[in-house]
Amino acid sequence: MDVNVVNHPLVATRLSVLRDKETGDPEFRSTLDELTSLLVYEASRDLPVRVGEIHTPVSPAEGYQLDSPPLLVPVLRAGLGMADAARRLIPESTMGFVGLARDEETFEPRAYMESLPEDLSGSRAIVLDPMVATGGSLLHSCRLLADRGCEDIMIVCVLAAPEGIDRLAESGLPLTMVTASVDDGLNENAYIVPGLGDAGDRLFGAI
């Protein structure tokens, strides 16, 4: 799996704000929004465009439109913190949602919300989830997309652990990743180290 770690001063400074435990919830939310814009900008670099003629006030000129805008898929709950920025950047996109909970008998992720088009044949998707830790729930989400025919799945995350990247890479699904950092690994509670804590709690408060 191709992993693009975005090396940019603005990404590094926004990421530091998110990592800092002194950063309060409102600043965490607005900074995640800014960082998502930078990451989605990178993720959309190779989107195909259609060329046509437009007219400036002065003369005809070449104009561009996205050829097949991607489906954006925030993974609930933390992915919601990335949804507005991604849609602002690609307003031509459509948005689906996946919500996952852990099945308390099998301990496997189970989708309690699958709001996705039935047929995604030949399409591309950008999956939004700030934290790729074990990769379990993200893998489940990406399978839902691949099962519907999606052929190009770009994961946009803030942090990824090597364990999660390996698991996704071994899946054989058509995945690529854009991230602000690949961190050291997971601790015994499956938190990313050094990480930024629980992204969902920092966005929406602990419940």
Residue stretches of the annotated binding site for uracil? 192, 197-199
Near ligand URA by CB under 6 A: residue from 123, 195, 204, 206: 195
93: its two tokens: 């996109």
> Can you tell me which residue has the tokens 């603005």?
10
Question: Which residues have a Cβ under 8 Å from the Cβ of 100 and sit 6 or more positions away?
Answer: 75, 76, 109, 110, 111, 112, 137, 140, 141
Decide: is 133 part of the binding site for ligand URA (CB under 6 A).
yes
The active-site residue out of 67, 88, 102, 119 is: 102
198 given a catalytic annotation: yes
Decide: is 198 part of the binding site for ligand URA (CB under 6 A).
yes
Angle between helices 80-89 and 25-43 (to 10 degrees): 50
Near ligand URA by CB under 6 A: residue from 120, 158, 182, 199: 199
Is 147 or 198 the residue whose CB approaches ligand URA more closely? 198
102 given a catalytic annotation: yes
Is 74 or 200 the residue whose CB approaches ligand URA more closely? 200
Q: Quick one: DSSP state of residue 148? A: T
Residue positions forming the annotated binding site for 5-phospho-alpha-D-ribose 1-diphosphate: 77, 102, 129-137, 198
Question: Is 155 in contact with 132 (CB distance < 8 Å)?
Answer: yes
Near ligand URA by CB under 6 A: residue from 11, 35, 131, 203: 131
**Phi and psi dihedrals of 67, rounded to 5?**
-75, -50
Q: Which residues pair with 181 in a beta bridge?
A: 159
Decide: is 127 part of the binding site for ligand URA (CB under 6 A).
no
94: its two tokens: 């459509």
Least separation, in Å, of the C-beta of 62 and ligand URA?
44
Q: Give the binding site for ligand URA (CB under 6 A).
A: 78, 131, 133, 191-192, 195, 198-200
